[in-house]
Structure 1
Amino acid sequence: MVEKILVVDDEKEIADLIETYLQNENLDVYKFYSGAEALDYMENMEFDLVILDIMLPDISGLSICQMVRDKGCACPVIMLTAKDSETDKITGLTLGADDYITKPFRPLELIARVKAQLRRYKKYNTISAPHVTETIFEYAGLTMNIKTYECTIDGNSLLLTPTEFSILRILLERKGSVVSAEDLFHEVWQGEYYTKSNNTITVHIRHLREKMGDTGERPKYIKTVWGVGYKIEEI
């Protein structure tokens, strides 16, 4: 089955370039130069991945990202940001984006990130694959079922993106051990583009804590070990 990719960017040359590279990877591309047109199309179409420019003339890419998540869609979202828009990057990740890439960018780097996100999304949605064993983590009212990709706290469902699910799964698998932000990044994205200034993991951890109601000074689940990484304590 060919994955469907939604591309939204008002800069025609960039949108066309992305389309060409994605099509060269045998992906179905649905390209729009405005947010309003993309939203109309999204009403009747499901996508496997969305590439959104933040600076759209009619509707902010951030608003579209939030609408995608509010509808319960867990497909990966990659934001395209201006070089100096650090605040937009953080906001996009907080609203549920999985990754961002800064303009100008190298097309092959974008393709690598798209492939990494699609691999995780495919794994996230393969709930009945024969090689997946029944694995359930339980911790202080938190239950994660790896096979069905369901997560609950005290019986209440947590709607997690594939990125959030992956981060939480890794921390639960290594319960009692500290996992560095760099290790989390490489395990989740399986890429080599991590830099020390990259705060992607920090923002995803913050968003996870918000969803889990775990944002106090002494979080119950995900602990920060300053200068080292993150951990879930042994009970």
Structure 2
Amino acid sequence: MGKTILIVEDEQNIVDILSFNLSREGYDTLEAYDGPAGLQLALENDPDLILLDLMLPGMDGFEVCRKVRESGSAAPIIMLTAREEEADKVLGLELGADDYITKPFSMRELLARVKANIRRVAMSPAVPAAQSGLGTIKAGRVNIDRDRATVFKDGLPLELSQREYDLICFLAAQPGKVFSREALMEHVWNYEGYVGDVRAVDVAIRRLREKIEDDPANPEFIRTKRGMGYLFGE
């Protein structure tokens, strides 16, 4: 059965181009031209991925994203934006979008990101092959129960998104090892040879710290190696 992509975009020519290219890759598509219609299709059809424009009539992309996440949907959301303002992109990520791509975009890049996000959802948590069996990763006050896909701190379960869970699984499986933002984009976001904007990593790390650290400003678990990247513990 084919994967379904929901396109929420008010520019007909962009919808037509996206629908044509996605269909050619074997995806089924749903289209909406305003925010309320996009939200309705997202809630009623549970698509495998949502391409969501920010500037929409009726309800903007930020509000659509927020309501989709409030519904409990974990479908990957890639925001489409013509804006260059960093604050808009970060806000979209904070509301639960998985990534963004700025117009005008290359169709090859967009298709690669669609494929990577759908593949990520289908995969087990992103841990090294040698350590990918089920079981528990124990790291002091933090335990990751991969049988239940749950992270515990001091014995209490944490409410993490799928991305946050994948991220801590990957880092905690290799404590003390520093990973650059680009490396995390490759291994956790599944973007092969990633060389683009890596702010999505910083936002995900910040959100994870807010949930797992006693003091997010002075992290104990998810640490920064200045100029190099992030590591777990040690």
2:21 counterpart of 1:6: no
Q: Which runs of 5+ in 1 are unaligned?
A: 126-131
Counterpart in the other structure of 1:32: 32
Deviation at 1:56, TM superposition (A): 0.9
Q: How does 1:188-203 map to 2 (within 5 A)?
A: 188=188, 189-195=190-196, 198-203=198-203
Structure 2 counterpart of 1:103, one-letter code:
K
Measured against aligned partners, the alpha-carbon deviations of 1:57-107 in whole angstroms (never above 9, x if no partner) come to 211111111112222211211011114232111111111111110100111
Q: Is the 8 A contact 1:142 1:151 kept in 2?
A: yes
Deviation at 1:155, TM superposition (A): 4.4
- Normalising by structure 2, we get a TM-score of 0.88
- Distance of 2:200 and 2:84 partners within structure 1: 16
- Distance of 2:178 and 2:90 partners within structure 1: 24
Counterpart in the other structure of 1:129: none
- Distance of 2:124 and 2:49 partners within structure 1: 13
Q: Is the 8 A contact 2:6 2:50 kept in 1?
A: yes
Q: Is the 8 A contact 1:124 1:162 kept in 2?
A: no
- Normalising by structure 1, we get a TM-score of 0.87
Counterpart in the other structure of 2:17: 17
Change (3 A) 1:45 1:152: farther
Structure 1 counterpart of 2:206, one-letter code:
R
SS at match of 1:218: coil
Q: Is the 8 A contact 1:214 1:221 kept in 2?
A: no
User: Which stretch of structure 1 is more off in the superposition, 149-158 or 42-51?
Assistant: 149-158
Deviation at 1:156, TM superposition (A): 4.1
Q: Which runs of 5+ in 2 are unaligned?
A: 126-131
- Distance of 1:133 and 1:170 partners within structure 2: 13
Counterpart in the other structure of 1:128: none
User: Which stretch of structure 1 is more off in the superposition, 4-13 or 80-89?
Assistant: 80-89
Change (3 A) 1:36 1:21: same
Counterpart in the other structure of 1:168: 168
Change (3 A) 1:28 1:211: farther
Deviation at 1:20, TM superposition (A): 1.0
- Distance of 1:211 and 1:71 partners within structure 2: 20
Q: Is the 8 A contact 1:75 1:161 kept in 2?
A: no
Measured against aligned partners, the alpha-carbon deviations of 1:18-69 in whole angstroms (never above 9, x if no partner) come to 1111111111111100111122223322121111001112111111111122
Counterpart in the other structure of 1:225: 225
Q: How does 1:51-90 map to 2 (within 5 A)?
A: 51-90=51-90
User: Which stretch of structure 1 is more off in the superposition, 184-193 or 219-228?
Assistant: 184-193
RMSD of aligned alpha carbons: 2.0
Q: How does 1:208-223 map to 2 (within 5 A)?
A: 208-212=208-212, 214-223=214-223
The count of residues paired between Structure 1 and Structure 2 equals: 227
What fraction of aligned residue pairs are identical, expressed as a percent? 38
- Distance of 2:140 and 2:73 partners within structure 1: 28
SS at match of 2:15: helix
Deviation at 1:14, TM superposition (A): 0.7
Deviation at 1:122, TM superposition (A): 0.8
Q: How does 1:136-175 map to 2 (within 5 A)?
A: 136-175=136-175
- Distance of 1:76 and 1:137 partners within structure 2: 26
SS at match of 1:200: helix
Structure 1 counterpart of 2:193, one-letter code:
E
Counterpart in the other structure of 1:183: 183
Deviation at 1:10, TM superposition (A): 0.6
- Distance of 1:8 and 1:83 partners within structure 2: 17
SS at match of 2:44: coil
